[in-house]
Amino acid sequence: MRDSLLHRPVNDYDIATEASWEESERALAAAGFAVHRTGTPHGTVTASIDGNALEVTTFRSDGAYSDGRHPDSVTFVRSIEEDLARRDFTINALAYHPTRGLLDSWGGLQDVEDGLIRAVGDPVKRFREDFLRIARGCRFASQLGFAIEPETLQAMKACKMGLLRIASERVTHELDGLLLGEHVHDALMETVDVLVAVLPEVAACRGFEQRTPYHIYDVWEHTAWVVQNSPATRLNRWAALLHDIGKPGACFFEGDRMHFYGHPRLSVILASDALRRFSLAPSFVDRVLTLVRMHDVQIAATPKSVKRALADMGGDTELFQALIYLKRADALAQSELGEPRLELADELQVVLDAVIANGDAFTLKQLDVSGRDLMAIGIAEGPAVGHALNQCLDAVIEGRVRNERAQLLEFAQSLETAPQ
């Protein structure tokens, strides 16, 4: 209902009814739907037809939430008003009937119009029932661009430690949604005092000034703008979120001016600890950490430098593209002195596109010779072959040798092949 009122795409519809799940199952089956018993203890069945699915749930009232996530019991009721009273936020406590129209028991329509996220009833009670609602509120702020009603936000802060009782995959899902939101900068700024419960590493960034000519924001607002300016992909947004978390620890003063030398190394350490608490694939974590490590590395906009950087990144062109995006977003969140860095990011993009289009080699796999070829010309099997291949790749990247079999074999024969 909320998304319909906001003219946003509606991906699923939930139907609430006074009918029992058994009655719903019979009626839906008779109408030609395939029916699946997806949550009958809570009165829910899922109907599907032509690839479309509908959740149909009996009106219910929830019992106590002893685990801070799921009700210990549910009571089926006969009133939609009682059912709406158990919802998390007023904007989600709206119901529509094709002949009776809109039912708004909690002022959700006004909150939609005002762009406000407000808990249904007592916010502390709502969040203690299900602590995941706190993270959902943060996500909604980012996705919808709504502000959080002050009493609701205060309750989120007061109850935030309950998020530590929630399964990591559920928290990760909500953080993903927050980071990918269209209004992520505003949401990060508003909810940082909530997010520190699951991301304590960012606490030091909040309000930490950057007294350098390159910066106009504190570390946290700079971070929020970098996230906002990054493409809405999980890789780019997670890397943007964590790229500078080492700055407070790396900071030192020279007169009135701050320096942050070596902060990417400290950011990698802190980001590594943070990422491994969430349900993220190890390969994804490694790619995020690579971006954090390299976000401040100076890469000249030349084919040689770009190919060397690509080699350092395992030949992952998508990862290098993400690095360019991160560098661009970082420059956009700086003072006007960051303009040359922004221009450099654009130049790196041009060079990367040319390197890819030209089919230039920047990994061992792309060389026109293999280890077997080198052994065939007399290079001893073992470390000497690997050393020779790396020398060949260096020569190709440097432009001293073309990536052609005959030239590479001739070059390899001229090498001192003992491993260094």
Tell me if 123 sits within 8 A of 155, measured CB to CB. Answer: yes
**Is the confidence at residue 416, as pLDDT, over 70?**
no
335 and 212, same structural domain?
A: yes
Which pLDDT value is given to residue 418? 47
- Domain extent, residue 396, equals 364-413
In-domain check, residue 104:
no
- Mention every residue, 6+ apart, whose C-beta is less than 8 A from residue 194: 134, 138, 153, 156, 157, 160
Tell me if 240 sits within 8 A of 223, measured CB to CB. Answer: yes
Nearest to 313 by CA among 343, 288, 282: 288
In-domain check, residue 273:
yes
In-domain check, residue 199:
no
253 and 213, same structural domain?
A: yes
Backbone angles phi, psi at 406, to 5 degrees: -65, -45
CATH number for the domain spanning 295: value is 1.10.3210
Which pLDDT value is given to residue 42? 87
Query: What is the tens place of the pLDDT at every residue in 248-292?
Result: 998 998 888 888 888 999 999 999 999 999 999 999 999 999 999
In-domain check, residue 187:
no
400 and 284, same structural domain?
A: no
- CA gap 352, 6 in Å, rounded: 40
- Mention every residue, 6+ apart, whose C-beta is less than 8 A from residue 24: 17, 35, 45, 56, 58
Give the end of a domain, one of 335, 357, 379: 357
Q: What is the mean pLDDT of residues 129-134?
A: 96
- Mention every residue, 6+ apart, whose C-beta is less than 8 A from residue 291: 235, 239, 243, 319, 322, 323, 326
Query: What is the tens place of the pLDDT at every residue in 184-238?
Result: 999 999 999 999 999 999 999 999 999 888 899 999 999 999 999 999 999 999 9
**Is the confidence at residue 14, as pLDDT, over 70?**
yes
257 and 325, same structural domain?
A: yes
378 and 336, same structural domain?
A: no
In-domain check, residue 255:
yes
215 and 338, same structural domain?
A: yes
242 and 352, same structural domain?
A: yes
- CA gap 38, 55 in Å, rounded: 9
- CA gap 405, 403 in Å, rounded: 7
Which pLDDT value is given to residue 70? 74
Which pLDDT value is given to residue 420? 46
Domain count along the chain: 2
Q: For the whole model, what pTM was predicted? A: 0.90
β-pairing verdict for 101-104 and 147-148: unpaired
Selected residue with higher pLDDT from 86 and 288: 288
Q: What is the mean pLDDT of residues 65-72?
A: 73
Which pLDDT value is given to residue 196? 98
